[in-house]
Structure 1
């Protein structure tokens, strides 16, 4: 592994300018930032004093500690760290250490407070190193493209492919099983594109779900666009997944029996979006979300019947008067429905979940649409430069003759109005919960400012039980549908992570990274925004009471999940048990 010793100016060795740093150096910088932020959120392993982090190493035989500067300290929970990592000995001696060494020492020596085993520590260290190596490879392969993309206004496909660093508060955000040497074809970070495999499936080998009768046949046939033998169904498959499914005995038996066979090749390309398994094409009325037997971030990315059924149920609600009311109330916001799913069944009629695909509405018909995933807008500049959102605000300031801080406030206010108010009010007034975190929110831009927004991914949807009777009036089978229902208190806690900590606080931290506007000014805007919404006639005030008055919000335990090796999506535990308290900056 490449190493770069990082010294402070006090060691009288001038630091390299960022322009002279290697891509591996930047990958380590970002990897350590995500890891340490996740650790600090979930444990008391480190202490911040002023602009310095002190991180004891009690699990190492020699003890000691690490020290590093912060730039800046973030009440939003996304600190920036300097490159001046130093190890402090038990007698007070200190010396600079490479970033690789800091990574190793943290995961081997810090108090993780999780009852973890040495094996779990080593496994997480291996995952963190693999994530750093993956990011370095992405930067090596895409640096010229990324430089050009970040210098231009953000567009849909560029933003999907630009999320090279991953989740900013996670110890190993880009860990995933490799695509057997085919990353360049299938990874969005490497500009992947490929045609789908299309199957002809006999009815007895297929299970479908549809929001309305006949929609599945209509949608699948239109997507394939070519004739299929009478009585059979066209079904799209991710080519990487299909290559592996064919080796599975139940699928091989379907093929041998002629119940499943490949259709003539459709050469039209599809592009993986940031989630890797969701595929987009400009010609298609639907995106295709496919199962992938790959571990990514916190879960194995195989779709589950309950998840896609949830998408079907939510689509039916959005097609009812409930959805009509939302569209009238929030014309600038769109919830993308997922009305159809399909999966193979074996000869005995049992589901084969690794074959599951679902169709998501696709209103985006150009790669260059001025629409960008929020996570990419807020991603730190990979090579030390500004993020997209900071650049956008700078352009707004220049075009309108405003100070940066005033332009930042304008951008943030517009973002809250366009993208956050519809999700919060849908929860408080209608009882539908949408996990609108940064990767699930698409922001439509005009003259650099948020103008519209979309939510995608019904996997992260649920409802508030207090609204069950109202919702069931439009969808009688909702209570037995498997769509999860939560109490108002539990729903508010979930909202506090997905929408408040992830979508809002990470945006605050990204905007404040410019050092030209303080987080405090943005939190003041956030408070005024919440107070204005709370002053209205809300049916359920729980989430506003939590956001405005509770000293604690709720954050997902990404560090604990990664350390324990949990499959978050498949965990047979209360989802709230994977969360922890986070101090509310509006109260504490």
Structure 2
């Protein structure tokens, strides 16, 4: 019986991973390989030819997604079911012979304005390709395949051990993101964790543990807070553990919390051993309250202190090393200060920000070493009993089931429409107002946003992780010129972040899930979004709203292509057709924003 169950779980993880890989490939390469990718929205039949491998993938969709988040009934090649490793191999072969997208994009019908913004976003990026021709390096291809394997293995474990667990509050929602980003080729990759580490530290398995702590001598200890009221005194909070170890030296040291995995890792580093011998660092071991890893893995929720702590982990979650650089932390604190000073959502009663209020680290000469120990504090000021991470609500407890959100609502189209209307009022509209009136933009993707529900309906919307804030340099007031240059971007670049993270990533997946679960086309809910924006445009004349209604396409990250080509830090982009442009009559004109 156990073997049969394991086999079923493996099949579910395998099929989900095939869906991710194929949806990424179709979205990211549809313009370049128009003749090789055919999908019929009416018959739900599809065919994808991989010319380099001489194979054609065919099958039927169970749901056609206008934004590309298709659901599949079947996936075959030559009458045989397709394995995810087949897909990996075909994709790698197909991209190995490609020339760079820059050379061919204009030939494939990309809207000129989207093309211009794409070039603007990527102009400063130097892609580490062979001769910059777009051909894959063998090391990137091998690494890509290994990360897909790692992600599938983790997903299998999560489905086996945690699928079906309910979510009923903030903590359980943070620990229920089993499947992850729907447009990433390996969203559950955690390269660097051993099998035992995965069991101990994965939030998906509802784990908890104590943090470890390091005492840092004051001459190399650095902390910065947005104001005096925000300061967390770890000495006071951990006095019973720290004072017996430090004794009369207690006041000579500041304290840093460290993830247990990171603690083991850094303890073995030669440079750290040198600082320990000099008395600049003292390893204090594990102590303090129980913490719960959240959906980002390296950020932990500390109920006893009513905060989250963004820790450093020198390992890959998805495709990025999760340490906290000096630049990232500078951006975070400067963004917290700037957004507070400008009372960003002051007029929005149901829209809030989870601020990072402090950063602590070591002042080592080696910045890379410093980033291994840098952490940020984020207090919790919302209702933990009724607040949820959006990314967990849109997931299903098992592939093929309806989303947790629709299960919570327990109804059909009417309640889904009411939910969406309430949600747009406290999320989309305040975000476009902040952009239009104050030039403040957020990376408000599904994992960076929370919603508080009452009787199932949204009453509060919360944005977090302010490292992603960008400010339109054209709207900076003279007195703000002294703020960090790290926050200021051209209007096009700032708006591209908002339009991708909130419109494409966030609303795109939310609408897909609602439409799929109530069995209507996604256009049904995009029409409601459009109606809300038309009304807002008539009331405010907001140029960003006008852009949302009139642009031909939005730009989306090419996660698959960027991972394969080793450019995840400076990703490539692809235009995704604007569903609101196709619905109803056009809003006349466009001003101020390209795209």
State the TM-score, normalizing by the size of structure 1.
0.84
| Conserved 8 A contact 2:452-2:460 | yes
Matches within 5 A, 1:1-400: 22-44=8-30, 45=33, 46-50=37-41, 51-60=44-53, 63-82=54-73, 84-87=74-77, 94-100=78-84, 102-104=86-88, 106-110=90-94, 113=98, 115-117=134-136, 119=138, 120-142=140-162, 146-149=163-166, 154-180=168-194, 181-212=196-227, 215-216=230-231, 218-221=232-235, 223-224=237-238, 229-263=250-284, 265-320=286-341, 322-323=342-343, 326-327=345-346, 329-346=347-364, 352-363=370-381, 366=384, 369-393=385-409, 395=410, 397=411
**Kept after mapping to 2: 8 A contact 1:444/1:452:** yes
Contact map agreement 1:35 1:171 (CA 8 A) in 2: yes
Contact 1:333 1:422 in 2 (8 A): yes
Deviation at 1:111, TM superposition (A): 5.4
d(CA) in 1 for partners of 2:364 and 2:537?
52
| Unpaired segments ≥5 residues, structure 1 | 5-18, 88-93, 398-403, 572-576
Find the residue that maps to 2:71 and give its secondary structure.
coil
CA distance, structure 2, for counterparts of residue 348 and residue 587 of structure 1: 50
Deviation digits for residues 263-317 of structure 1, max 9, x if unmatched? 4752410001000011111111431101101112231111111111112112222
Q: Deviations over 1:452-488 (max 9, x none)?
A: 111111121111111211xx63x5521xx24332222
CA apart distance, 1:48: 0.8
2: distance between equivalents of 1:75 and 1:39? 15
Q: Is the 8 A contact 1:56 1:65 kept in 2?
A: yes
Give the Å deviation of 1:170: 1.1
The corresponding residue for 1:504 is 507
Given candidates 454, 457, 476, the residue that maps to 1:449 is: 457
CA contact (8 A) 2:137 2:565 kept: no
Cα offset, 1:377, TM superposition? 0.8
Answer yes or no: is the 8 Å Cα contact 2:24–2:559 preserved in 1.
yes
Q: 1:511 to 1:219 in 2, by over 3 A?
A: farther
CA RMSD of aligned residues (A): 2.6
The 8 Å contact of residues 313 and 323 in structure 2, kept in 1 or not, is answered as: yes
Change (3 A) 1:246 1:230: same
Contact 2:210 2:288 in 1 (8 A): yes
Partner Cα distance (2:287, 2:88) in 1: 48
Q: SS in structure 1 opposite 2:183?
A: coil
Residue 443 and residue 225 in structure 1: after superposition, are their counterparts in 2 closer, same or farther (change >3 A)?
A: farther
Corresponding residue for 2:574? Answer: 580
1:456–1:514 Cα change, 3 Å: same
Q: Using the TM superposition, give the Cα deviation of residue 250 of structure 1 relative to its aligned residue in structure 2, in angstroms.
A: 2.2
Q: Aligned runs of 1:409-424 on 2, under 5 Å?
A: 409-424=417-432
Q: Give the equivalent residue in structure 1 for 2:110.
A: none
Instruction: Kindly state the Cα deviation for residue 106 of structure 1 after the two structures are TM-superposed.
Output: 3.6
- The equivalent of 1:562 in structure 2 is 563
The equivalent of 1:529 in structure 2 is 532
Q: Which moved more, 1:195-204 or 1:511-520?
A: 511-520
What's the secondary structure of 1:316's corresponding residue? helix
Aligned residues: 530
Tell me, what secondary structure is at the counterpart of 1:204? coil
Give the C-alpha shift of residue 23 in structure 1.
0.8
2-side partners of 1:513 and 1:225: how far apart?
53
Structure 1 pair 545–219 and aligned structure 2 pair: CA distance change class (3 A):
farther
* Separation (CA, whole Å) in 1 of partners of 2:90 and 2:175: 31
Displacement, 1:96?
2.4
* Unaligned ranges ≥5, structure 2: 101-133, 244-249, 583-595
Equivalent residues of 1:548, 1:587 under 8 A apart: yes
CA contact under 8 A between 2:17 and 2:84: conserved in structure 1?
A: no
- Counterpart contact for 1:56–1:110, Cα < 8 Å: no
Partners of 2:419 and 2:366 in 1: how far apart?
A: 56
1:525 positional shift: 0.3
Q: Secondary structure at the match of 2:305?
A: coil
Contact 2:362-2:370 at 8 Å conserved across structures: yes
